[in-house]
Amino acid sequence: MRQELMVVSDARTMALLADPLKSEILREMDKPRTTAELALVMGMPRQKLGYHVRQLEGAGLLASVGESRRGNCVARKLQAAARQFIVIRTDPQGSVTEDRYSGSWLMERCASAIREVGVLSSAAGKKGQKLPVLTLESEIAFDNPQDQQAFAQELSELIAALIDRYGSTSSGATRFRLLVASYPKLPDA
């Protein structure tokens, strides 16, 4: 089953995605194609593309999705393993900053969430299951910094109360990560 989003965090696969030709191949392989069909679309020799296609398939970025028959010839059809790829560099040393009110801390948490949800989604998809998630998104405007701070304080207290009310301490309970973030909205274009 094709993934919606694949998270890439290893240096070898990142290097493949950074290569302009390989990125173009992945874009063209959004639908199932043989290497010969890809060569026609891209106007390049099949042999030259075959090398790059094998590298992408070896890294798990392309997946076999069937066969194409023409007479006695059978060719494998490949497709990009995901609709979207996101590159997240992981820091083996851990967090860059511990200031939870900084943009860096928020970006680290969001990157961690994307990486974890990508791994979990992939595992669930392979089992034919759906990952149980909840996403809430809204906009709010504040007239002054004091209102923003008061809102943040009250929201924190409400979330803590909900966690106390519904959170389980049993060892067999399914654990979820809750991330609440607030940042200035980009101006409308």
Q: What is the rounded distance in angstroms from the CA atom of residue 77 to the CA atom of residue 91?
A: 36
- Ordered domains of the chain (ranges, CATH): 3-85 (1.10.10.10), 88-166 (no CATH)
Q: Which amino acid, 136?
A: L
123 has a pLDDT exceeding 90: no
Residue 57: CB atoms within 10 Å? 16
Q: What is the rounded distance in angstroms from the CA atom of residue 31 to the CA atom of residue 2?
A: 11
162 has a pLDDT exceeding 90: yes
Residue 121: CB atoms within 10 Å? 20
Do 16 and 26 contact (CB within 8 A), yes or no? no
Residue 187: CB atoms within 10 Å? 5
Residue 145, both tokens: 């910094």
Q: What is the pLDDT of residues 59-105, one digit of tens each?
A: 999 999 988 887 888 889 999 999 988 887 665 555 556 777 788 88
Q: Please report the pLDDT score of residue 95 as a whole number.
A: 58
